[in-house]
């Protein structure tokens, strides 16, 4: 597989991958295979699973442990969750905070229909800390969660890579009791015979190994 490889791949991705993993893969792949066209669609992890099962995507970058039978995966990145607070919040300058310090706050969270794994994980972590969060905003994108918090309308727990979005008005604080990490997996149908897919997966593995 070299410069002559041509064709097209249909690729799904969840938005946060733009801040951790996907740009590096795309740059490396484009340099090695300039004739191969990549068609990228931003979809939630749940939406990608539907498209992958129906062969409307060649591969996807998902945040879920609910992998269908007959699919293979590569762990692309793993990152911690952080507390995300308005910059004027009394805890915004803390070096670390316990989740129970957010009891009574209005929470912004990604919708369960969009990311059931992480929606449930956040609720479970709050329950373990002794409270049920008041869900003021349930949103389709993690960046929307950060945007709501930047307006002073709530707090949240978000993947650390969202710090790279550079939105003003927010502070990110490490958690004293870390949640299970936010993992990104590249997912594709096992045994799919396509040289273009194999070339792309090689670029994914190279970035994942760094």
Enter the pTM of the model. Answer: 0.82
> How far is 155 from 171, CA to CA, in rounded Å?
10
Q: What is the pLDDT of residues 18-34, one digit of tens each?
A: 887 788 889 889 888 88
Same fold, 7-77+183-208 and 81-180: yes
To which residue do tokens 């990104």 refer?
A: 184
Q: What is the pLDDT of residues 172-196, one digit of tens each?
A: 999 999 998 989 999 999 987 678 8
Quickly name the fold that domain 81-180 has. D-Maltodextrin-Binding Protein; domain 2 (3.40.190)
Quickly name the fold that domain 7-77+183-208 has. D-Maltodextrin-Binding Protein; domain 2 (3.40.190)
Domains of the chain, by residue range, sit at 7-77+183-208, 81-180
Mean per-residue pLDDT for 90-110? 96
């Amino acid at each position: 597989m070299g410069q002559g490889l041509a064709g097209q791949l249909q690729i799904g991705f969840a938005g946060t991958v733009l801040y951790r993993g996907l740009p590096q893969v795309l740059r490396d792949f484009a340099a090695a295979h300039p004739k191969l066209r990549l068609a990228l669609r931003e979809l939630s992890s749940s939406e990608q699973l539907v498209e992958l099962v129906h062969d409307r995507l060649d591969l996807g970058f998902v945040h879920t442990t609910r992998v269908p039978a007959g699919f293979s995966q590569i762990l692309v990145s793993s990152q911690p969750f952080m507390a995300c607070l308005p910059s004027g919040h009394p805890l915004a300058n803390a070096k670390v905070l316990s989740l129970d310090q957010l009891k009574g706050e209005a929470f912004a969270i990604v919708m369960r229909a969009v990311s059931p794994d992480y929606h449930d994980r956040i609720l479970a972590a709050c329950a373990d800390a002794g409270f049920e969060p008041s869900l003021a905003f349930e949103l389709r994108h993690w960046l929307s969660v950060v945007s709501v918090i930047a307006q002073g309308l709530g707090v949240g727990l978000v993947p650390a890579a969202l710090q790279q979005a550079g939105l003003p008005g927010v502070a990110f604080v490490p958690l004293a009791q870390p949640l299970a990490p936010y993992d990104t997996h590249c997912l594709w149908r096992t045994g799919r015979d396509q040289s273009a897919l194999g070339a792309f997966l090689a670029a994914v593995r190279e970035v994942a190994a760094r």
